[in-house]
C-alpha cells in the first residue's frame, strides 16, 4: 500500500523535475536567441591611419576631392600631408606597373588621416565627396560613415574605398607601392 507521504514526495519530485526542465529550455532558448541576434551585426575594425591631426567637423558641409600630385619614389607613393591638411579630402593618380589607379586621402572627424583606393567597386566610380560626416559615392550615392567606413545606405554598402596602410614620414603620407601595384578589386 502506498502511503500518503510517498505520494506527496513523488509530486514534489515531479514538480522539481518539470521546473528544472523548463529552466533548462529557457536557458537554451536565450543562448540561441543571443547567438542568432549577433550573427547579422557588422563588426567594425579600426581603420589603419598614418597620423592624427586636429579633429574635423564636416556638419552642414560638402567637401569635394581636390586633385593633388603624389610622388612615386623608392618603392613608395608619397602624398604631401600639407595638401591633405589644406584641402581635407584629396585624390591622386598612381601610374605604375602598367596600371593607373586613383587614391584618396581625407581627415576623419577624429583627425585620423585615412588613405584608400578611390573606387566604389560595384559601380566603378572613382570620385566621392564628404557630406556631413559621411563619405558619398558621386555615381551611386552610397553613403559610408566617414570615421569607420561602415555602410549607411545605398547599393554598394559593403564596398567602401579600400583602406591602405600608410605612415607619416618627412611630412608625407607614405604608402608601399607594392600595396597599390598589386591591389585587386574585391568584386
Distances from the Cα of 140 to the Cαs of 15, 45, 124, in angstroms?
62, 25, 9
CB atoms within 10 A of CB 11: 10
Residue 52: per-residue pLDDT = 84
Residue 127 shares a structural domain with residue 173: yes
Domain count for the chain:
2
Cα gap 3→37, rounded to integer Å: 51
What is the pLDDT at residue 28? 67
- Statement to judge: residues 10 and 85 lie in one domain: no
Buried b (16+ CB within 10 A) or exposed e, 37-47: eeeeeeeeeeb
pLDDT recorded at residue 25? 77
Does residue 9 lie within any of the structural domains? yes
**Total residue length of the chain:** 187
pLDDT at 36: 54
Give the residues of the chain that fall short of pLDDT 50.
Answer: 38-44
Co-location of 28 and 68 in the same domain: no
* CATH code, 105: 2.102.10.10
Q: Is 90 exposed, middle or buried (0-12, 13-18, 19+ CB in 10 A)?
A: buried
Residue 99: domain span? 62-181
Same domain, 35 and 69: no
Residue 55, in any domain of the structure: no
Domain co-membership, 23 together with 112? no
Amino acid at each position: 500500500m502506498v502511503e500518503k507521504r510517498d505520494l506527496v514526495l513523488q509530486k514534489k519530485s515531479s514538480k522539481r523535475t518539470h521546473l528544472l526542465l523548463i529552466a533548462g529550455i529557457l536557458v537554451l532558448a536565450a543562448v540561441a536567441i543571443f547567438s542568432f541576434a549577433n550573427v547579422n551585426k557588422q563588426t567594425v575594425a579600426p581603420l589603419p591611419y598614418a597620423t592624427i591631426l586636429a579633429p574635423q567637423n564636416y556638419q552642414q558641409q560638402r567637401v569635394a576631392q581636390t586633385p593633388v600630385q603624389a610622388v612615386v619614389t623608392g618603392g613608395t607613393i608619397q602624398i604631401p600631408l600639407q595638401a591633405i591638411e589644406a584641402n581635407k579630402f584629396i585624390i591622386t593618380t598612381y601610374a605604375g606597373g602598367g596600371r593607373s589607379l586613383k587614391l584618396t586621402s581625407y581627415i576623419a572627424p577624429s583627425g585620423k588621416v585615412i588613405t584608400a583606393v578611390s573606387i566604389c567597386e560595384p559601380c566603378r566610380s572613382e570620385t566621392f565627396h564628404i557630406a556631413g560626416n559621411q563619405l558619398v559615392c558621386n555615381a551611386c550615392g552610397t553613403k559610408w560613415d566617414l570615421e569607420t567606413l561602415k555602410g549607411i545606405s545605398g547599393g554598394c554598402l559593403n564596398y567602401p574605398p579600400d583602406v591602405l596602410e600608410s605612415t607619416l614620414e618627412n611630412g608625407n603620407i607614405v604608402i608601399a607601392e607594392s600595396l597599390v601595384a598589386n591591389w585587386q578589386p574585391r568584386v
